[in-house]
Amino acid sequence: MTTFTPRRAARVLLVDGTDRVLLFREFDPARPEHRYWLTPGGGLDGDESPATGAARELAEETGLRLTPDELGEPVWQQTIEFSFDGQWYRQEQVFFLVRVPTWEVDTTGFTEVERACVEGHRWWTVEELARTVDRIYPEDLTGILRGALDGATEADPVVPPAGLGIRVDAEAAVDTAAPVDGDGRVAREGEERC
């Protein structure tokens, strides 16, 4: 019988002015051949609220500093089960939508684990997500992103604070991996970085 460690997480759909979403290319240290793309975000610290955790993770992983209030309400939630580095987790996670005109990703805030298992990042269009054979988590990111963008208000995008470098990064070339099975709600083989 598999024993799951409970975990709460918050993730961010960071979308630029051309409706591209930022994803990180990662692998599981216990299964280095298992590579996948994942949104910014991660586990919540203690009793941290999802918005506070998402803002913290966004700053650490991309350099974009926003207040929890600037994130608004979550646009999607799910519960997944996954293994990472030999440990099984049952994770409740929420997703926030953040729109920026452009953004130059700054990964200097990565944790040691992230520096070890994140191979790169790129911006994806919905069409690219729909066509790729790479593993993407969450598995139905295409549908989630379409729904979030369709339901998004016409409010102005978040404008990063003055003085921060702003430009869109070039897309990184990557190899491909076969997609995994799942229903988009509970993913047995879903991945999450620590």
Instruction: Write down the pLDDT at residue 179.
Output: 30
Q: Domain ranges in the chain?
A: 5-151
Q: Is pLDDT of 174 > 60?
A: no
- Does domain 5-151 fall into CATH 3.90.79.10? yes
What's the CA gap between 102 and 94, in Å, rounded?
23
For 133-165, how does the pLDDT look when each residue is reduced to its tens digit (9 = 90+)? 999 999 999 999 999 988 754 343 444 444 333
Q: Tell me the pairing of strands 31-38 and 136-137.
A: parallel
- The residue-averaged pLDDT of 25-46 equals 95
For 53-91, how does the pLDDT look when each residue is reduced to its tens digit (9 = 90+)? 999 999 999 999 999 999 999 999 999 999 999 999 999
Instruction: Write down the pLDDT at residue 1.
Output: 86
Lowest mean pLDDT among 112-126, 146-160, 161-175: 161-175
Check residue 41 and give left, alpha or beta (phi > 0: left; psi -120 to 50: alpha).
Answer: left
Burial of 183 (0-12, 13-18, 19+ CB in 10 A): exposed
Nearest residue to 29 (alpha-carbon basis) of 152, 115, 90, 132: 115
What's the CA gap between 85 and 37, in Å, rounded?
16
- 101 versus 177: the higher-pLDDT residue is 101
- 15 versus 179: the higher-pLDDT residue is 15
Q: Is pLDDT of 178 > 80?
A: no
What's the CA gap between 144 and 21, in Å, rounded?
11
Place of tokens 């994942």: 38
Percentages (nearest 5) of helix, strand, coil residues in the chain: 20, 30, 45
Burial of 8 (0-12, 13-18, 19+ CB in 10 A): middle
